Amino acid sequence: MLLTPQYLFQDVTHITPAFLRSQGIRALVLDVDNTLTLHDDPQVPARVRAWLEEMQGEGILLTIASNNGQQRVEPFARALGLEYVAKAHKPLSQGLEKARSRWGISRREMAIVGDQLFTDRLAGSLYGIPALVTRPLGPETKWYIRLKRVLEKPFFGLYFAKGGKIL
Protein backbone atom coordinates (compact mmCIF):
# COMPACT_ATOMS: atom_id res chain seq x y z
CA MET A 1 0.00 0.00 0.00
CA LEU A 2 1.23 3.48 -0.81
CA LEU A 3 0.99 4.86 2.72
CA THR A 4 1.44 1.89 5.02
CA PRO A 5 5.03 1.83 6.28
CA GLN A 6 7.39 -0.81 4.90
CA TYR A 7 9.77 -0.27 7.81
CA LEU A 8 9.32 1.72 10.99
CA PHE A 9 12.33 2.80 13.04
CA GLN A 10 12.37 4.34 16.50
CA ASP A 11 14.55 7.10 15.04
CA VAL A 12 17.29 7.48 12.42
CA THR A 13 19.95 6.15 14.78
CA HIS A 14 18.27 2.73 14.66
CA ILE A 15 18.92 2.45 10.91
CA THR A 16 22.16 0.49 10.68
CA PRO A 17 24.70 0.01 7.92
CA ALA A 18 24.06 -3.75 8.23
CA PHE A 19 20.34 -3.24 7.58
CA LEU A 20 21.09 -1.02 4.58
CA ARG A 21 23.55 -3.54 3.12
CA SER A 22 20.99 -6.34 3.57
CA GLN A 23 18.57 -4.32 1.45
CA GLY A 24 21.16 -3.31 -1.18
CA ILE A 25 20.84 0.36 -0.18
CA ARG A 26 23.90 2.56 -0.77
CA ALA A 27 22.31 6.01 -0.49
CA LEU A 28 19.81 7.78 1.75
CA VAL A 29 17.69 10.84 1.05
CA LEU A 30 17.04 12.42 4.45
CA ASP A 31 14.19 14.58 5.71
CA VAL A 32 15.06 17.32 8.22
CA ASP A 33 12.28 18.33 10.61
CA ASN A 34 11.39 15.71 13.21
CA THR A 35 13.70 13.24 11.45
CA LEU A 36 17.20 14.67 11.95
CA THR A 37 16.23 17.43 14.40
CA LEU A 38 13.18 19.05 15.96
CA HIS A 39 11.01 21.38 13.87
CA ASP A 40 12.79 24.63 13.04
CA ASP A 41 15.78 23.70 15.20
CA PRO A 42 19.12 24.50 13.53
CA GLN A 43 21.00 22.12 15.85
CA VAL A 44 21.45 18.39 15.29
CA PRO A 45 21.38 16.16 18.37
CA ALA A 46 24.80 14.64 19.13
CA ARG A 47 23.49 11.07 18.62
CA VAL A 48 22.13 11.98 15.17
CA ARG A 49 25.40 13.70 14.24
CA ALA A 50 27.28 10.54 15.32
CA TRP A 51 24.90 8.43 13.21
CA LEU A 52 25.51 10.63 10.15
CA GLU A 53 29.26 10.25 10.64
CA GLU A 54 28.88 6.47 10.99
CA MET A 55 26.86 6.28 7.77
CA GLN A 56 29.45 8.32 5.88
CA GLY A 57 32.24 6.23 7.37
CA GLU A 58 30.51 3.12 6.03
CA GLY A 59 30.34 4.66 2.56
CA ILE A 60 26.61 5.41 2.62
CA LEU A 61 25.79 8.38 0.38
CA LEU A 62 23.65 11.02 2.10
CA THR A 63 21.70 14.03 0.94
CA ILE A 64 18.91 16.09 2.43
CA ALA A 65 15.59 16.58 0.65
CA SER A 66 13.19 18.83 2.50
CA ASN A 67 9.98 20.61 1.64
CA ASN A 68 11.33 23.58 3.59
CA GLY A 69 12.74 26.56 1.78
CA GLN A 70 16.33 27.45 1.04
CA GLN A 71 16.69 29.63 4.16
CA ARG A 72 15.99 26.63 6.42
CA VAL A 73 17.66 23.83 4.48
CA GLU A 74 20.88 25.37 3.18
CA PRO A 75 22.48 26.37 6.51
CA PHE A 76 21.35 23.12 8.11
CA ALA A 77 22.84 20.97 5.32
CA ARG A 78 26.03 23.04 5.08
CA ALA A 79 26.64 22.65 8.83
CA LEU A 80 26.58 18.88 8.26
CA GLY A 81 28.59 19.01 5.04
CA LEU A 82 25.74 17.47 3.06
CA GLU A 83 24.25 18.18 -0.35
CA TYR A 84 20.60 19.18 -0.26
CA VAL A 85 17.43 19.76 -2.19
CA ALA A 86 15.24 22.53 -0.75
CA LYS A 87 11.58 22.78 -1.72
CA ALA A 88 11.69 19.12 -2.72
CA HIS A 89 7.89 19.06 -3.13
CA LYS A 90 7.52 15.64 -1.54
CA PRO A 91 5.55 13.48 -2.23
CA LEU A 92 6.36 14.44 -5.82
CA SER A 93 9.49 12.78 -7.17
CA GLN A 94 11.54 15.71 -8.46
CA GLY A 95 13.67 16.08 -5.31
CA LEU A 96 14.39 12.36 -5.19
CA GLU A 97 15.33 12.32 -8.86
CA LYS A 98 17.66 15.27 -8.36
CA ALA A 99 19.44 13.43 -5.52
CA ARG A 100 19.64 10.18 -7.51
CA SER A 101 21.05 11.85 -10.59
CA ARG A 102 23.78 13.54 -8.50
CA TRP A 103 24.87 10.15 -7.23
CA GLY A 104 24.61 8.35 -10.56
CA ILE A 105 23.05 5.27 -8.94
CA SER A 106 19.92 3.25 -9.64
CA ARG A 107 16.72 3.58 -7.67
CA ARG A 108 17.30 0.07 -6.29
CA GLU A 109 20.31 1.43 -4.40
CA MET A 110 18.57 4.28 -2.56
CA ALA A 111 15.91 4.89 0.08
CA ILE A 112 14.15 7.86 1.61
CA VAL A 113 14.18 8.44 5.38
CA GLY A 114 11.51 10.56 7.03
CA ASP A 115 8.84 10.79 9.69
CA GLN A 116 5.69 11.53 7.67
CA LEU A 117 3.58 9.09 5.68
CA PHE A 118 1.90 11.67 3.43
CA THR A 119 5.20 13.17 2.32
CA ASP A 120 8.16 10.82 2.86
CA ARG A 121 6.48 7.40 2.63
CA LEU A 122 4.28 8.44 -0.27
CA ALA A 123 7.28 9.99 -2.07
CA GLY A 124 9.14 6.68 -1.78
CA SER A 125 6.10 4.77 -3.06
CA LEU A 126 5.58 7.06 -6.04
CA TYR A 127 9.29 7.05 -6.94
CA GLY A 128 9.61 3.29 -6.48
CA ILE A 129 12.14 3.27 -3.62
CA PRO A 130 11.95 2.02 -0.04
CA ALA A 131 10.83 4.45 2.64
CA LEU A 132 12.45 4.06 6.04
CA VAL A 133 9.88 5.74 8.27
CA THR A 134 11.01 7.05 11.63
CA ARG A 135 9.03 8.03 14.68
CA PRO A 136 9.01 11.83 15.04
CA LEU A 137 11.75 13.18 17.29
CA GLY A 138 9.35 15.45 19.13
CA PRO A 139 5.87 16.91 19.28
CA GLU A 140 4.42 18.68 16.27
CA THR A 141 4.36 22.47 16.41
CA LYS A 142 2.33 23.12 13.28
CA TRP A 143 -1.44 22.51 13.21
CA TYR A 144 -1.45 20.98 9.71
CA ILE A 145 1.15 18.38 10.68
CA ARG A 146 -0.83 17.53 13.83
CA LEU A 147 -3.83 16.96 11.53
CA LYS A 148 -1.75 14.70 9.26
CA ARG A 149 -0.65 12.70 12.33
CA VAL A 150 -4.30 11.92 13.05
CA LEU A 151 -4.84 10.87 9.43
CA GLU A 152 -1.73 8.63 9.57
CA LYS A 153 -3.03 6.51 12.47
CA PRO A 154 -4.99 3.96 10.37
CA PHE A 155 -1.93 3.27 8.20
CA PHE A 156 0.24 2.63 11.24
CA GLY A 157 -2.57 0.40 12.52
CA LEU A 158 -2.37 -1.65 9.31
CA TYR A 159 1.40 -1.92 9.66
CA PHE A 160 1.13 -3.31 13.19
CA ALA A 161 -1.85 -5.55 12.30
CA LYS A 162 0.32 -7.20 9.62
CA GLY A 163 3.00 -7.96 12.20
CA GLY A 164 5.09 -4.84 11.70
CA LYS A 165 7.26 -3.71 14.56
CA ILE A 166 9.37 -0.73 15.51
CA LEU A 167 12.96 -1.47 14.55
What are the chain's domains?
Answer: 7-161 (3.40.50.1000)
* pLDDT score recorded for residue 141: 85
Q: Distance between CA atoms of 121 and 81, rounded to whole angstroms?
A: 25
Which of 62-66, 72-76, 98-102, 138-142 comes out lowest in average pLDDT?
138-142
Which of 21-25, 26-30, 38-42, 113-117 comes out lowest in average pLDDT?
38-42
DSSP tally for the chain: helices H, then strands E: 6, 6
* pLDDT score recorded for residue 14: 98
- Asked if the model's pLDDT at residue 32 lies above 90, the reply is yes
Could you tell me which residues come within 8 angstroms of residue 10 by beta carbon, excluding any fewer than 6 positions away?
A: 134, 135, 166, 167
- Asked if the model's pLDDT at residue 79 lies above 90, the reply is yes
- Asked if the model's pLDDT at residue 7 lies above 90, the reply is yes
Average pLDDT, the chain: 96
Q: Distance between CA atoms of 135 and 117, rounded to whole angstroms?
A: 11
81-107: pLDDT as tens digits: 999 999 999 999 999 999 999 999 999
Model confidence band, residue 1 (pLDDT cutoffs 50, 70, 90): confident
**b/e code 135-166 from CB counts within 10 Å (16+ = b):** ebbeebeeeebeeebeebeebbeebeeeebee
